[in-house]
Amino acid sequence: MSNAVSALNGASFEGYVTVTDMGPAGMITLRGDLGSAAIKKAIGMAVPAPLKITSKGENSVAWMSPDELLALCPYEVADETAAKMTKALGKAHSLVANVSDARALIRLEGADVREVLAKLTPADVAAMQPGDLRRSRLAQIPAAFWLTDDETAYVICFRSVAKYTFDLLTTVAAPSSKLAPT
């Protein structure tokens, strides 16, 4: 079996916000009736409210749409986790897909993470609180992003646009790109 390689090979950038490739991450799309007991059993934690992400240990579950969740887990257990979810769902109308190799995960760290995101997305980043998630766009590409605290954000994008996303983020996080105080 070959080793998993991230789309960005561990790239990192130090600007007024640090931009870091998080390497391979387990990501599992789960579609179905989010109010069902089967979904709750499959994810092993409470279903997040709309526009939220919840965490338990190394695992997180993000609300992506009225019938879709994205489960995040260590890459090494993504296949096993997806199989357990499928089994827990039984005959419930649902879909479980391991999308780990089709996505990239990037971390932003610094006091101005909201400013960096606000330069690229139409979403109201200033109003976001830790645990809030948005599925929007960054410049011309679809992305999901959330805050874990006031100085840390994560971005998920398609692997095929990971380099473009990283370059966008590093451009707007460069010290010369910082907005002047108002």
What does the pLDDT look like over 72-98, one tens digit per residue?
A: 999 999 999 999 999 999 999 999 999
Question: Is residue 109 in a domain?
Answer: yes
Residue 149 in domain: yes
Domain with residue 91: its CATH number is 3.30.1360.120
pLDDT value at residue 58: 94
Give the DSSP per-residue string, 129-144. -TTBEEEEEETTEEEE
Cα 107 to Cα 156: distance, rounded to the nearest angstrom: 9
State the pTM of this model.
Answer: 0.95
pLDDT exceeds cutoff 90 at 4: no
- Domain membership of residue 4 (yes or no) is no
Two tokens at 103? 């996505």
Average pLDDT over all residues of the chain: 96
Banded model confidence at residue 2, pLDDT cuts 50, 70, 90: low
Residue 136 lies in a domain: yes
**Total domains, the chain:** 1
Is residue 7 assigned to a domain? no
DSSP 99: -
Count the alpha carbons within 13 Å of 132 in the hemisphere toward its beta carbon. Answer: 12
User: 121 pLDDT band (50/70/90 cuts)?
Assistant: very high
Full domain range(s) for residue 64: 12-173
**What is the length of the chain?**
182
- Whether 1 is in a domain gets the answer no
Residue at 160 is within a domain = yes
Question: Is 103 inside any structural domain?
Answer: yes
Return d(Cα 8, Cα 163) in angstroms, integer: 6
